[in-house]
Every structure is written in structure tokens, then in C-alpha cells.
């Protein structure tokens, strides 16, 4: 399951959820909210979900609850409810204060094998709603059938004193993670906590994929600290990536995923170049401008080659259906993902959305390039990505002699707003909503950032420059 880019699919895409999964979350700082939010996204995309626990948890009120100490009876009740509601909460019984008591971990494999649920989400420990926790020897309780492990911590504890207001069992945490009581919690303490959680999770489910989650990332700490955390955790086998989220039980914040780090490339934020090449070329008459010749290469090939020779991690080109075969032939020996936009007549916004949906799950920023800008060089891409990776703003654009040009980079935190665009509009409306702190501009020496190819006269001028 990939291609989920908007508000409702942010977690699913970042975690790269498979068609069938047993997903176990454990730790502190929002794991219940994470699993509930993921259940909501899975529901939106037509999946059937069992949300359960191997310890105890509070049940979300919006979904039906099954409590039964007999697995056959619980499975029978759950199947009936799944057909109607698609998400069911399951436990063995209820406590006096309304908590759902957990099921035997061996139930999970039976549910996975015999129920119609596509996804089983398991909460494997408790933390009393605090940001971090110390672990008893029996924690967490991870089902061996788990396919995806989510160790979760809350970043709100970063920089705060180690005490019972921030950490569940602070004395145990102190011994396990190297912080003294009252000492301000650091990135190193978080690295130690995640390391412990990963080792404990792997000991119970050795072959599972692992994605550490740092929640409460409303405002991201310094990017160098985050990449250091990622590098430390990527030393463990099967850790696929690390995601930073902003999830709250009382509200759906946009977007849920704020940062994705991956082992490749030294855990730096990953950037994709999306070439928008599905326009109608109205002002060029009957000529498709993207296939015009410029010094032995087509206009589109010039645009693609600049991206391919730059520091971006992925190149995607979005084309009209009638151009699909031709473009695939042009890039047959190149690392380019070709995407068809069947809705190209709805304008640039549809092409932009198709490109976003096609990016890899680990991508953090997307540089949108117009296919008819063959004068853009790899130096422009490199300047944009360097500024972005060092500062992680919401957007970066090139500027030539005081004028803003293209291409423009948009961080994944802006993608939900981009996915709301309609008609023949690009990202200018989103840029206008960003503050100076959120939007950075980089001075370039290439005037081509201001030039695209719209008319035969433009083509004549460009032939003398490219």
C-alpha cells in the first residue's frame, strides 16, 4: 500500500503499510493515538481492522468493542461486526475504570489466520500517557506474528528534567538510559531508550520490520540532532526508517507525519524531483513542445537529465496517457519513474497530485519542475537541496536578481494543502501562506529559472541558449 499522500494517508504511506499486516506499537508518548489514527486511515481505504492489546488500553469510543475470554466466541462476534463497521476493538474483558484488558499473544496469530481482518493492530504495553518510560523485564508483550514493530516515544520530554511528570518509572529509566534523576533529557537518552526498545521488540519477533516513531514533533528540533538519532538507530538490522509525527487524541493535526529519515544517504532528508510534463501546449499550436529538438535531445530530456545529474534521490516524470509509451522509451536506460496522469485535462493541479502520489514513502521533500524548462541545471537543484537539508523549511525556491523562479521544493508537511488544489494552479497559493521562517529562497546565477517554453518565439530563443 503506497501512494497515500493526503491527510488521510500520511501514516500509511510513511510506514509503507502492506496489504496484510500485524502491527505492534509499544513505548510512550502517543502509541494509542498512533494506532487509533492508523486504524482510521485503514478504514478510509476500505481495510478491515482489529485493534487490540496484549496488556491494557482505553477503547476508542467510535468503534464497536468485543470482550470475551474465549477466542472462538470473540472471533465469531468480531467477524459479524467487521462486515458492518470494518474496525473492531477486541479484548478479553473490561476493568472497572473502562480499560480493555488484553488478549493472549497467541490469539493474534489465530486472528491473523482465521479472521477477515486485513490488519491487526496491537498495543503491547502502557506508559500512563507520559512521554517516556522505564521497562520492567516482562515488557513489552509482542506477538511473534508481528510484521511491523513501532517503538514510540514522545519528544515533549526532550530538554525536560527526568521525573515522574515526564517519565513512567523514572528510576528504572535512569538506570536503563543513562540519565540521572532531575537531569535534563537529551537526544542521547532518547537514542538509549529506542535502542532498548528495539532490542526487546526484536527478541520477541526477530524477523519483523521496525520503524521507530517520535511523536509530539509539533516543532522539530534541530535537524542535525534528528539525523544523529536516525543514524544511531539504523545500525540495527530491519530498522527501515524513522518517522516523526504530530498526533493528538483530541484533534486531527495536519499533517500527521512531519519528517521521514531513512538509512540510505546517511539518514539525511530524502528529496524527489517531480517533472510536470502533462500540459496541453496550447500556445505552441499543434506541436508538442516537450519533444522539440534542442541540440540533439528533446526538451523533456534536458529537463530530466538535469535532475538525474543532481543530488536528488529520485526522479519522477508525470505525462499524458498518449505520451506514456514515448517517454518510457526515452528514459529506458535511466533511473526515472514514469507516471501517467489520466486527469491531465483538469490542469496542473492534477499533474502535481499524481506526482506526489508516486513518490517513494521515504521522501521528505519534492522539487516540482516544469517539463518545459530545459535550461534548469543540476546546480540549481543542488543549491535548493543543500539549503533544504541543512534547515528543513517548508519550502525553498530559487531567486534570480530578486525574482522568484522555478523549480520549487515543498516539504511533506505542506503536501495535504497541495493535495487540495484544483484546476490549472500550482503551489503559489501554498507559498503565499508561509512565513519567512517557513519559506527560504536561494540566490542563483541562472536566469533560466525564470524562463519556460510556451511559444514558438520562446523555442527560437532557447535554441540559442541551451
Contact yes or no for 260/243 (Cβ under 8 A): yes
Q: How far apart are CA 359 and CA 176, in angstroms?
A: 39
> How high is the pLDDT of residue 465?
65
Cell of 119: 490488519
Cα-Cα-Cα-Cα dihedral sign, residues 354, 360, 363, 368: negative
Residue written as grid cell 499543434:
286
Domain at 7-261: CATH code: 3.40.50
Residue written as grid cell 534570480:
400
Residues 222-248 as b/e (b if ≥16 CB within 10 A, e otherwise) read: ebeebbebbbbbbebeebbbbbbbbbe
Contact yes or no for 249/219 (Cβ under 8 A): no
The crossing angle, in degrees rounded to 10, of helices 187-204 and 170-177 is 90
> How high is the pLDDT of residue 3?
46
Q: Which superfamily does CATH assign the domain made up of 270-463 to?
A: Spore Coat Polysaccharide Biosynthesis Protein SpsA; Chain A (3.90.550.10)
> How high is the pLDDT of residue 452?
78
Cell of 424: 490549472
Which class for 287: exposed (0-12), middle (13-18), buried (19 or more C-beta within 10 A)?
exposed
Count of other CB atoms within 10 angstroms of residue 423:
9
Contact yes or no for 14/260 (Cβ under 8 A): yes
Q: How far apart are CA 124 and CA 113, in angstroms?
A: 20
Beta strand pairing call for 119-123 and 21-27: parallel
Domains of the chain, residue spans: 7-261, 270-463
Considering just the CA atoms, what is the radius of gyration of the chain in Å?
Answer: 25
Cα 362 to Cα 76, 269, 304, 415: the distances in Å are: 39, 8, 21, 14
Residue written as grid cell 513512567:
168
The arrangement of strands across the sheet holding 56-58 comes to 56-58, 99-101, 93-94
> How high is the pLDDT of residue 461?
72
Measure CA 147 to chain center: 19
Q: What are the backbone angles phi and psi of residue 74, rounded to the nearest 5°?
A: -60, -40
Per-residue pLDDT of the chain (466 residues; tens, 9 = 90+): 444 444 445 899 999 999 999 999 999 999 999 999 999 999 999 999 999 999 999 988 789 999 999 999 999 999 999 999 999 999 999 998 889 999 999 999 999 999 999 999 999 999 999 999 999 999 999 999 999 999 999 999 999 999 999 999 999 999 999 999 999 999 999 999 999 999 999 999 999 999 999 999 987 778 888 889 999 999 999 999 999 999 976 555 467 899 999 997 667 899 999 999 998 766 665 668 888 888 889 999 999 999 999 999 999 999 999 999 999 999 999 999 999 999 999 999 999 999 999 999 999 999 999 998 999 999 999 999 999 999 999 999 999 999 999 999 999 999 999 999 999 888 998 999 999 889 999 999 999 999 877 677 777 776 666 6
Q: What is the pTM of this model?
A: 0.90
3-class secondary structure per residue, the chain:
CCCCCCHHHHHHHHHCCCCCEEEEEEECCCHHHHHHHHHHHHHHCCCCEEEEECCEEECCCCCCEEECCCHHHHHHHHHHHHHHHCEEEEECEECCCCEEECCCHHHHHHHHHHCCCCEEEEECCCCCCCCEECCCCCCCCCCCCCCEEEEEEEHHHCCCECCCCCEECHHHHHHHHCCCCCCECCHHHHHHHHHHHHHHHHHHCCCCEECCEEECCCCCCCHHHHHHHHHHHCCCCCECCEEEECCECCECCCCCEEEEECCCCCCCCEEEEEEEECCCCHHHCCCCHHHCEECCEEHHHHHHHHHHCCCCCEEEEEECHHHHHHHHHHCCCCCCEEEECCCHHHCHHHHHHHHHHHCCCCEEEEEEEECCCCCCCHHHHHHHHHHHHHHCCCEEEEEECCEECCCEEEEHHHHHHHCCCCCCCCCHHHHCCCCCCCEEEEECCCHHHHCCCCCHHHHHHHHCCC
Cell of 126: 502502557
Contact yes or no for 146/140 (Cβ under 8 A): no
Residue 245 CA neighbour count, 13 Å, CB half:
32
Amino acid at each position: 500500500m503506497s501512494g497515500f499522500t493526503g491527510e488521510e494517508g500520511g501514516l500509511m504511506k510513511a510506514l509503507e503499510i502492506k496489504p496484510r499486516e500485524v502491527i505492534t506499537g509499544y513505548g510512550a508518548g502517543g502509541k494509542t493515538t498512533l494506532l487509533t489514527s492508523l486504524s482510521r486511515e485503514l478504514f478510509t481505504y476500505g481495510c478491515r481492522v482489529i485493534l487490540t492489546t496484549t496488556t491494557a488500553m482505553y477503547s476508542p469510543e467510535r468503534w464497536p468493542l468485543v470482550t470475551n475470554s474465549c477466542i472462538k466466541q470473540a472471533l465469531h462476534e468480531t467477524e459479524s461486526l467487521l462486515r458492518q463497521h470494518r474496525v473492531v476493538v477486541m479484548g478479553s474483558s473490561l476493568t472497572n475504570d473502562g480499560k480493555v484488558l488484553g488478549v493472549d499473544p497467541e490469539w493474534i496469530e489465530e486472528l491473523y489466520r482465521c479472521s477477515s481482518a486485513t490488519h491487526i493492530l496491537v498495543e503491547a504495553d502502557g506508559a500512563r500517557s507520559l512521554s517516556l518510560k522505564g521497562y520492567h523485564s516482562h515488557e513489552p508483550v509482542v506477538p511473534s506474528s508481528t510484521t511491523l514493530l513501532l517503538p514510540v516515544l514522545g519528544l515533549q520530554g526532550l530538554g525536560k528534567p527526568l521525573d515522574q511528570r515526564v517519565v513512567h518509572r523514572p528510576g528504572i529509566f535512569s538506570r536503563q538510559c543513562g540519565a540521572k534523576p532531575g537531569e535534563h533529557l537529551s537526544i542521547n537518552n532518547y537514542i538509549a531508550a529506542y535502542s532498548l526498545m528495539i532490542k526487546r521488540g526484536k527478541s520477541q519477533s526477530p524477523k519483523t520490520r521496525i520503524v521507530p516513531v517520535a511523536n509530539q514533533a509539533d516543532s522539530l528540533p534541530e535537524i542535525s540532532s534528528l539525523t544523529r538519532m536516525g543514524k544511531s538507530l539504523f545500525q540495527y538490522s530491519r530498522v527501515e526508517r524513522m518517522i516523526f509525527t504530530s498526533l493528538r487524541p483530541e484533534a486531527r493535526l495536519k499533517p500527521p507525519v512531519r519528517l521521514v529519515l531513512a538509512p540510505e544517504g546517511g539518514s539525511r532528508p530524502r528529496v524527489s524531483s517531480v517533472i510536470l510534463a502533462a500540459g496541453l501546449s496550447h500556445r505552441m499550436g499543434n506541436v508538442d513542445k516537450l519533444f522539440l529538438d534542442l541540440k540533439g535531445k528533446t526538451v523533456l530530456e534536458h529537463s530530466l537529465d538535469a535532475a538525474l545529474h543532481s543530488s536528488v534521490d529520485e526522479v519522477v516524470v508525470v505525462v499524458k496517457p498518449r505520451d506514456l509509451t514515448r517517454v518510457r522509451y526515452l528514459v529506458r536506460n535511466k533511473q526515472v519513474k514514469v507516471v501517467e496522469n489520466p486527469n491531465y485535462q483538469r490542469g496542473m493541479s492534477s499533474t502535481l497530485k499524481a506526482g506526489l502520489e508516486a513518490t517513494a514513502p521515504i521522501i521528505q521533500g519534492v522539487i516540482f519542475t516544469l517539463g518545459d524548462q530545459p535550461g534548469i541545471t543540476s546546480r540549481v537543484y543542488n543549491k535548493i537541496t543543500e539549503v533544504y537539508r541543512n534547515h528543513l523549511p517548508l519550502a525553498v525556491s530559487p531567486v534570480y536578481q530578486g525574482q522568484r523562479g522555478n523549480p520549487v521544493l515543498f516539504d511533506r508537511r505542506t503536501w495535504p494543502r497541495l493535495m487540495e488544489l484544483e484546476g490549472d494552479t500550482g503551489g503559489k497559493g501554498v507559498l503565499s501562506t508561509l512565513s519567512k521562517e517557513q519559506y527560504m529562497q536561494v540566490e542563483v546565477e541562472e536566469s533560466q529559472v525564470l524562463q519556460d517554453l510556451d511559444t514558438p518565439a520562446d523555442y527560437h530563443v532557447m535554441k540559442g541558449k541551451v
